[in-house]
Structure 1
Amino acid sequence: MRFIQSLLLIILLQSCLAQDHKINGVSYVAHKDSITQKNVDPLLNINANYAAIMPFAMIKDLNHPEVTYSEERQWFGETKIGGKQYIETLKKNSIKTMLKPQLWVWKGEFTGYIEMKTDEDWIILENSYSKFILDFAQIAQDTNTPIFCIGTELEKFIAARPDYWTKLITKIRSIYKGKLTYAANWNEYEKTPFWDQLDYIGIDAYFPVSDSKTPTVEECMEGWKSHKKKMVEFTEKYNKPILFTEFGYRSVDYSGKAPWTVDRIEDKVNLEGQVNTTKALFKMFWKEHWFAGGFVWKWFINHDRVGGLENNRFTPQNKPVEKVIKEQYSTK
């Protein structure tokens, strides 16, 4: 019975992926300007075949119910018109897209903590979030975008209002005919209740894998084992492929200890740590049949002005890890 289940899973996952190669993607950061061929060429250089387009809606604080978006003060790439322009320009270069509209809380507070204080406020949030998501679902359909992400790291919202999400997915399906996912935080995905309604199990893969100042590839691979075991069990449970909706590491000391940390102020740069953590992730996952691929965090449109050897943020651009990504994304 176990053999038959595994065989059926392999067949189903191959069908779901419907592609010869992994999703070798980048998280393409929205900008104030439209994109041109100059902005696309660096993606072609690293052999990326996907980009996550990330329009944003704003919410004033973690308890505020109204979502606002596509306002004049937003950057072009965060709007409906901008998202469409990015998708169409990338498509001309044979780069497919995942449209990933998401929320930004004022002062950058974590979206997983969004939680309303009254039922009335929950209803307002649901209505405004639905409008936001369904508008972009229509754009995904109009542009034949292959993957649509229904939300990113919204743990408390989902836990408090699971019926709303079930109904929202049904509404999205009535508009959009492509593949659906949700971007669950690394410690959230096991609690997300609606994977059976989606096509990919989406995970923002900031799992802790090493406590070392400069982790080795071997240490990180060892640190991945328990996380990977749970993922294998999860993909077998739901018969769905896993997609890393975000993955990546900062070029800092202890890069594998708490990879989700964005507000850690550092003067030092540790390029080797970023290289080793990234290599280990590729070695652990990219050859697995149940693994769909992923989107590296994060990639800016003006390649020649960002990143570099003195930069200790997430972007791989103009750092040694960019070569690691290019080599992996070249693998057939």
Structure 2
Amino acid sequence: MTPRLTFLPEWVEQDLVLISWPNETMDWASRLPQIEACYKQMAESILAYEDLLILAKDPEHVRGLLSDREHKHELFIMEMDCNDTWCRDYAPLSLLLTDEEGNERPLIVDFTFNGWGMKFAADKDNLITRALYLSRAFVPETAYTNALSLVFEGGGIESDGAGTLLSTESVIVEPNRNAGVDDEALRQYLIEILGGERLLTLTNGQIEGDDTDGHIDTLARFLTPTTIAYVSCEDPKDSHYHELERMKKELEALRTKDGTPYKLIPLPLPPALHDEEGLRMPATYANFLFVNGALLVPTYDVETDAVALERLKAAVPDREIVAVPSRALIYQHGSLHCATMQFPRGFINKNKWR
């Protein structure tokens, strides 16, 4: 058989979730007590379902914060300094490599991360994937793909696990990421390096306050290979209404590989939430996180929380739906999925920390 790559979907069984802990050197400095409380709640929500690996500048400080209760699963803390906490965009992507004889081994892909088009410092974050790999955080048989010639982020791509990739035009063609690279060549390279058969892209759906230029994980997410949850605005007076209506029409026009329409699950756009400067923050329920046996859903202490949780429960009835308070996260323009990276079962060398 021909060797093949499979970009594993996020609902497969997982070894653990990775997060990067906020500290006083980051943009979180002025809100550190609030964001550490948020990360503590996030960590405890994850540990209720699976193991957790935390990258931290001060491991003992983090361990102390999380030592006030017993955890159902294992907590690992690794000393590592990061520019920011949004590890979804600088941690490696997880693929399965199947060789000619049908043998499978983990493979991680390392893209360049440049702070979402050189908006923010990223020198430390861009080294994280290599640091994890070289420190033997992955099982010995793990293959490494050097994709550093391409700037790309994990929050900018979705996989159904069966060959279909989903992204946004605004991220793929953004000039400060891959200047001088032909758009079509870039698409083909993404398909090839991620083992895809096709790449579907959306041209609409920008949300105010999202400084990633429109990551797909804030807009539309695979729940199954045939189901997509997406952000829906039902208030014609909201500034997002027309943009998200156009995105909805794009999603309605998409087809699965066998030619059938996707089942679409609308998630309400939360009411406008603003920071101290009056700028709208990018609250979205599409930024959920799959963990073993559950779906962790960001909530913002607004009336639409209950609607989003109910719709997701109906869409994935085999999973527990767990609300994770995430309002503190959106002050720095991300949410739950942006702050996490999952690794599938069989990828992580947990003996490194035991």
What TM-score results when the alignment is normalised by the length of structure 2?
0.31
Relative to its length, the structure with more helix (as a share) is 1
Q: Could you say which structure has the greater relative contact order, defined with CA pairs below 8 angstroms and 6 or more residues apart? A: 2
The structure whose residues are more often strand, as a share, is: 2
